[in-house]
């Protein structure tokens, strides 16, 4: 479904389908319901192995399963769950707008922005900033192997924002020219670091070396209960796409699609919960999950 | 200085009280800072006058005795007057004169000392007469140690060893506790809650901390049979001071088991409520234990919990029932916070251990050893490097436990750390306490390991149960630490020990620190029973815990 509607985040699509699944579920007990839901999430992860789907699924499960504690009766429980699920879905569809509104004030007139690959949230932020009559230029990295950066450049041109596509290898070269770096995220981990398209870590290290602010924009449903210590510690099921995981035997020969940026390199995170420092992410996660 | 003279004169002759009061008011007007001090002094004097008038017959002979004592050491050490409460104005003034010389640094401590002294004097005057024999225990100059007060706002006395006014607080408190245990009997022979004296020359940066010698345990001064202190507490104190029980989990568990024994043997005296009396009974025990070895953060939290449980016992509860309930509480605390917590922590930690890992551990942390043993049982392939340091050489104990399990281990001293670190993939450290600003307090040497690991980009994981989280904030290792026996540093090799006569060399000091503090930037991950959190999230956990309670 995410291929059909390119404007919708894959996590949102996943949650929508989970909600549909919930509606059609035939199980008799709450435990059975939970079992089916976890199975469904696993199936979804098999088809689209991104971090966002995993986090979105888990959050959805948490959000609705708390109702099972309040309403012991199954049918009533199910109705409440569906209601809450729809509320959750509505909330997260609005989250991108919230983030956009928060972040665009950090873009000053005449700014030069560097971004990586194609992110819908970053697009929304830049859209809001342009609507605010700010003048700025954007540099986008090509982001191989899928050339997502070129797609981002096209979208930006449609908004009449001056944009330049640079090579992934040219990040160090271009860093002295830019004023700030804004990237999206596929997942925000417990330490306050982010998991994003491969090449983000490089960009973060460069911006730290040049003392440029490195901002991450992400919706709150991307917060995930992972705590990687380094690049090796990120689970394989996120690093590679689902097809590769199924077909290829020796993953060491494959190029990973994502990398991990530690919190020490990130200046601020813009989420629909507000503007957070990396250490505050853990606080938010504790509030969400505990 | 006119101030001190005027006050000393005042201490000797109370007849000129009124004049001195006027004098003081005038002085206070000149020195706005001391206005509150003056008011308090005045109030105290008035109260004492009042009580004195009631007990006039016993007043004069005591006063003379104390005046004599006061005059003898007065010229050299005006600060160390005998702390008998009848002569309290004299020592307070005298200590004030000492404080006057160092006013800005000591004024807060002085205020507190005076408030305390006033409260102490009121309390002791209510309880009964003070005997002359008690002064022998506490008239040691300068070296009398202090009490750890579990009040957050005040500076704990155990870091005020060089503040003479604060020393009196401890002396008074211990005597008061001794008193409460005896009723109205006289104590001629030994002191029940003894004051331990400091040993040897202390390095000036750490002169505010105690330094005891293992050769003079606090139990030397206790009479047999001990009436105020329960014998199992005496045993526990001895085990602490001799280092037989070491390690924060071991100490806390031993403490809780001993308290269970104490509660078992306790019987409520008539006309008393268990919930109030038992707490009072526990206070001298806690003072005694902190004299043997300063309390750890985990022990402090455990004691707080017990005191809360005791005071929550409803008054209509029968004694046997209450005792049973308390024992069950203690058992569940140990089970939840220590045993189950270590299971939960092992579960999370095992996720972080992958095959082919080389794990570095430092010293002997019961929790880290448990994690490694569990991981080995779960068939993870890893090897361990144990780093050790003098003088405690705790790493040998860890090495013994791990090798017994069958884990491949390497043993190095801490000086070889930078040599061995390029091989290491992860560092696992235990903690003594986690402070509210995210700093990790642990065995000395831990922050060194964390620093070098950071330089080599090796992830550092700290494993700590939540009951060790404490509200204190500390940014360096000087403010609050523990000094161990300096004689431990003496090495005998080939029959020669070069440092044997270190006390004779005036400029030589031996420093045997026990703890140090690691900043949160060096720590990548803290594994607690609540989950894996970054070091900066400790205050959030504390907040969540307080909400739960």
Provide the 3-class DSSP secondary structure of residue B442: strand
Q: Does the pLDDT of residue B421 top 50, yes or no? A: yes
Q: Which residue has the higher pLDDT, B87 or B433?
A: B433
Nearest chain A Cα distance for residue B352, angstroms: 8
CA distances from B544 to B451, B522, B541 (A): 30, 25, 5
Question: Rounded mean pLDDT of chain A?
Answer: 85
Averaged pLDDT, B95-122: 60
Q: Mind listing the pLDDT tens digit for each residue in A200-242?
A: 999 999 999 999 999 999 988 888 888 999 898 888 888 887 7
Check residues B420 and B166 and name the one with the higher pLDDT. B420
Chain A residues near residue B533 by CB distance under 8 angstroms: 190, 282, 286
Q: Check: CB of residue B148 under 8 Å from CB of residue B156.
A: yes
Q: Is the pLDDT of residue B491 over 80?
A: yes
Query: Does the beta carbon of A252 lie under 8 angstroms from any beta carbon of chain B?
Result: no
Residues A279, B525: C-beta atoms closer than 8 Å: no
Chain B residue with Cα closest to A233: B352
Model pLDDT, residue A168: 93
Residue B224: the pLDDT is 64
Its ipTM equals: 0.81
Residue A263 with chain B: CB contacts under 8 Å: 534
Residue B121 has which token pair? Answer: 């004097």
* Burial class for B378, CB neighbours closer than 10 Å (0-12, 13-18, 19+): exposed
Contacts of B198 (CB under 8 A, 6+ apart): B143, B145, B161, B210, B211, B212
Residue B226 contacts A, CB cutoff 8 Å: no
In this prediction, residue B112 carries a pLDDT of 74
pLDDT-above-90 percentage for chain B:
34
Cβ distance of B459 and A191 shorter than 8 Å? no
What are the residue ranges of helices labelled H in B243-365? Answer: 248-265, 274-292, 297-311, 319-333, 341-352
- Give B183-193 pLDDT, tens digit per residue: 433 333 344 56
Check residue A242 and give its pLDDT: 74
**What pLDDT is stored for residue A209 in this prediction?**
96
Residue B506: pLDDT band with limits 50, 70, 90: confident
> Is pLDDT at B71 greater than 70 in this prediction?
no
B residues 437-466 near A, CB within 8 Å?
457, 459, 461
Give exposure, A244-281, as e/b (b: 16+ Cβ within 10 Å). bbeeeeeeeeeeebbbbbbbebbbbbbbbbeebebbbb
- CA dist., res. B216 & res. A182, Å (int): 65
Q: Which of A132-146, A245-259, B142-156, B226-240 has the highest mean pLDDT?
A: A132-146
Instruction: Give the A window 217-236 contacts with B, CB below 8 Å.
Output: 227, 229-230, 232-233
Higher model confidence: residue B71 or residue B50?
A: B50
pLDDT of residue B413 exceeding 70:
yes
Q: What span, in angstroms and rounded, lies between the C-alpha atoms of B517 and B481? A: 9
Between residues B4 and B303, the one the model is more confident about: B303
The strands making up B440-443's β-sheet, listed across from edge to edge, are: B433-434, B440-443, B515-518
pLDDT at B412: 96
CA–chain centroid gap for B358, Å, is 37
- Nearest chain A Cα to B438, which residue? A279
Residue B261 contacts A where some CB pair is shorter than 8 Å? no
Average pLDDT, chain B: 77
Please name the residues in contact with B427: beta carbons below 8 A apart, sequence gap of 6 or more. Answer: B359, B360, B361, B362, B449, B450, B453, B458, B459, B460, B461
pLDDT for residue B96:
42
pLDDT attached to residue A204 = 96
Residue B3: what pLDDT?
45
Residue with tokens 């006058």: B49
Which class for B544: exposed (0-12), middle (13-18), buried (19 or more C-beta within 10 A)?
A: middle
Angstrom distances, CA of residue A114 to CA of A160, A165, A198, A233, B288: 17, 10, 15, 28, 64
Q: What is the pLDDT of residue B151?
A: 46
- pLDDT at position A75 is 75
Confidence of residue B91 (pLDDT cuts 50, 70, 90): very low
Statement: the pTM of the whole predicted model exceeds 0.95: no
For position A7, what pLDDT does the model report? 67
Mean pLDDT of A134-149: 92
Read off φ and ψ for residue A187, nearest 5 degrees. -155, 145
Whether residue B418 has pLDDT greater than 80:
yes
pLDDT beyond 50 at B92? no
Segment 162-191 of chain A within 8 Å of chain B by CB: 190-191
What pLDDT is attached to residue B84? 39
Span B270-299, average pLDDT:
87
pLDDT tens-digit map of A22-81: 778 777 777 777 788 788 878 877 777 677 777 777 777 777 666 666 666 777 777 877
The pLDDT of A146-152, averaged and rounded, is 91
Q: What are phi and psi of B206, to 5 degrees?
A: -115, 20
Show residues of chain B in contact with A227, CB under 8 Å. 525, 532
């Amino acid at each position: 479904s995410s291929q059909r509607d390119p404007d919708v985040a894959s996590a949102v699509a996943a949650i929508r389908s989970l909600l549909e699944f919930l509606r059609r579920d035939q199980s008799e007990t709450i435990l059975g319901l939970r079992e089916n839901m976890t199975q469904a999430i696993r199936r979804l992860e098999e088809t689209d192995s991104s971090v966002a789907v995993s986090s979105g699924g888990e959050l959805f499960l948490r959000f609705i399963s708390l109702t099972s504690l309040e309403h012991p009766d199954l049918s009533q429980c199910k109705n409440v769950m569906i209601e809450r699920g729809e509320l959750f879905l509505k909330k997260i569809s609005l989250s991108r707008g919230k983030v956009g509104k928060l972040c665009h004030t950090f873009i000053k007139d005449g700014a030069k922005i560097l971004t990586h690959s194609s992110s819908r949230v970053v697009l929304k932020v830049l859209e809001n900033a342009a609507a605010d009559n700010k003048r700025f230029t954007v540099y986008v990295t090509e982001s191989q192997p899928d050339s997502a950066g070129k797609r981002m450049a096209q979208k930006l041109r449609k908004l009449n924002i001056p944009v330049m596509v640079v090579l992934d290898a040219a990040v160090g070269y271009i860093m002295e020219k830019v004023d700030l770096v804004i990237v999206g995220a596929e997942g925000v981990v417990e330490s306050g670091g982010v998991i994003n398209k491969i090449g983000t870590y490089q960009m973060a290290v460069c911006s730290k070396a040049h003392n440029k602010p490195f901002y991450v924009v992400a919706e709150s449903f991307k917060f995930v209960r992972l705590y990687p210590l380094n690049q090796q510690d990120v689970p394989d099921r996120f690093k590679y796409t689902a097809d590769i995981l199924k077909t290829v035997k020796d993953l060491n020969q494959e190029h990973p699609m994502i990398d991990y940026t530690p919190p020490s390199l990130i200046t601020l995170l813009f989420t629909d919960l507000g503007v957070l420092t990396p250490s505050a992410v853990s606080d938010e996660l504790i509030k969400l999950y505990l | 200085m006119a101030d001190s003279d005027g006050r000393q004169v005042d201490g000797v002759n109370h007849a000129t009280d009124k004049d001195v009061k006027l004098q003081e008011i005038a002085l206070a007007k000149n020195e706005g800072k001391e206005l509150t001090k003056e008011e308090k002094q005045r109030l105290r004097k008035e109260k004492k006058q009042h009580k004195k008038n009631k007990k006039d017959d016993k007043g004069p002979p005591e006063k003379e005795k104390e005046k004599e004592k006061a005059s003898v050491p007065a010229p050299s050490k005006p600060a160390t007057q005998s702390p008998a409460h009848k002569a309290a104005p004299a020592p307070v003034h005298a200590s004030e004169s000492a404080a006057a010389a160092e006013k800005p640094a000591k004024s807060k401590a002085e205020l507190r000392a005076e408030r305390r002294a006033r409260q102490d004097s009121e309390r002791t005057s209510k309880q009964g007469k003070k005997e002359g024999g008690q002064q022998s225990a506490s008239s040691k100059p300068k070296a009398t140690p202090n009490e750890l007060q579990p009040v957050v706002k005040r500076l704990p006395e155990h870091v005020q060893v060089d503040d003479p006014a604060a020393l009196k607080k401890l002396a008074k408190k211990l005597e008061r506790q001794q008193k409460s245990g005896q009723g109205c009997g006289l104590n001629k022979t030994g002191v029940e809650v003894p004051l331990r004296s400091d040993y040897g020359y202390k390095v000036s940066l750490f002169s505010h901390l105690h330094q005891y010698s293992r050769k003079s345990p606090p139990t030397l001064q206790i009479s047999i049979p001990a009436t105020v202190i329960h014998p199992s507490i005496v045993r526990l104190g001895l085990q602490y001071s001799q280092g037989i029980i070491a390690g924060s989990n071991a100490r806390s568990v031993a403490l809780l088991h001993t308290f269970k024994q104490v509660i078992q043997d306790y019987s409520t005296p008539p006309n008393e409520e268990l919930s109030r009396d038992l707490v009072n009974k526990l206070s001298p025990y806690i003072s005694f234990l902190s004299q043997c070895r300063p309390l750890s953060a985990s022990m402090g939290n455990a004691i707080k919990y017990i005191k809360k449980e005791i005071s929550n016992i409803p008054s209509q509860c029968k004694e046997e029932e209450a005792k049973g309930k308390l024992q069950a509480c203690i058992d569940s605390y140990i089970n939840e916070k220590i045993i189950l917590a270590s299971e939960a922590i092992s579960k999370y930690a095992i996720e972080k251990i992958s095959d082919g890992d080389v794990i570095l551990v430092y010293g002997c942390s019961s929790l880290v050893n448990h994690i490694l043993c569990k991981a080995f049982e779960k068939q993870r392939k890893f090897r361990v490097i144990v780093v050790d340091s003098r003088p405690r050489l705790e790493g040998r104990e860890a090495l013994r436990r791990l090798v017994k399990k069958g884990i491949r281990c390497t043993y190095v001293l801490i000086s070889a750390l930078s040599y061995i670190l390029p091989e290491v993939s992860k560092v696992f450290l235990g903690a003594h306490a986690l402070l509210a600003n995210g700093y990790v307090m642990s065995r000395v040497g831990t922050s060194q390991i964390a620093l070098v690991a950071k330089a080599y980009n090796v992830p550092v994981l700290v494993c700590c149960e939540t009951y060790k989280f404490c509200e204190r904030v500390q940014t360096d290792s000087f403010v609050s630490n523990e000094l161990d026996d300096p004689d431990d540093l003496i090495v005998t090799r080939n029959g020669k020990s070069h440092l044997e006569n270190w006390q004779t060399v005036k400029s030589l000091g031996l420093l045997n620190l026990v703890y140090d503090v690691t900043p949160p930037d060096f720590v990548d991950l803290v594994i607690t029973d609540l989950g894996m959190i970054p070091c900066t999230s400790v205050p959030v956990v504390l907040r969540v815990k307080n909400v739960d309670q």
